[in-house]
A and B are shown apart, each in its own frame.
Chain A
Amino acid sequence: QVNLVQSGAEVKKPGASVKVSCMASGYTFTTYGISWVRQAPGQGLEWMGWITAYNGNTNYAPKLQGRVTMTTDTSTSTAYMELRGLRSDDTAVYYCARGVATLGYWGQGSLVTVSS
């Protein structure tokens, strides 16, 4: 069965970087892309972008351009999302999901807290 397992919670100081991982299993990793979506406490869903696993093409939300980098490691079927220059409003649960358009399987979420 398809499973996406994300890395654990992180606490970061403003200005730092965070890298969240998402390990996929149960399907051929390079067949699908990986999208990233975040959710601030008590708020709605925010699309961050996607990466195609077979060639690494990316598509980022304009508001995050320059601060976010999505990568994949096909040898370990793992996707990564790095966010730099963290601010307090980056505090959120970060989700990975399989696909670039229709997100049929999701990770469990990784809480990133930005606090001084």
Chain B
Amino acid sequence: DIQMTQSPSSLSASVGDRVTITCQASQDITNYLNWYQQKPGKAPNLLIYDASNLETGVPSRFSGSGSGTDFTFTISSLQPEDIATYYCQHYVNVPPYSFGQGTKLEIK
């Protein structure tokens, strides 16, 4: 199995801060990585696909980068509505398409 290691597991930041989450794959996944946002009691929502492409309708303060084994997700200026848990997920054609363990983002 390909393991996805996300860090940190939780994060507290102030409105307006730049927030960065990392995701490391246990083997090369090229750019086969998505980022999802999940708010409490809701289904996940796709933000970034293919490591760096912004899903239609997603605010431009969200971005992703990386390839191979190391990936980064960034919120350029944290807004109150960004409070959620964020997950990375690979989709290299080797099941399972594992998710990272999640990063819970809170407002300081």
Binding site for B on A (CB under 8 A): 35, 37, 44-47, 49, 59-63, 95, 97, 100-104, 106-109
Contacts and interface: CB of A to CB of B under 8 A. Distances in A.
Interface string B5-34: 000000000000000000000000000101
A37 B87 CA distance: 13
B89 interface: yes
B64 interface: no
Interface in B73-108: 85, 87, 89, 91, 95-102
Given A61-B96, A101-B34, A102-B50, 16 more contacts: A44-B99, A44-B101, A45-B87, A46-B99, A47-B98, A47-B99, A49-B95, A59-B95, A61-B95, A62-B1, A62-B95, A101-B32, A102-B49, A104-B46, A104-B49, A108-B43
A107 B42 CA distance: 10
B44 interface: yes
Interface in B31-89: 32, 34, 36, 38, 43-46, 49-50, 55, 85, 87, 89
A55 to B, nearest CB: 16
Contact of B55 (A47, A62, A104, A106): A104
Contacts of A106: 43-45
B43 A44 contact: no
Contacts of A60: 95
A65 B101 CA distance: 22
A47 B101 contact: no
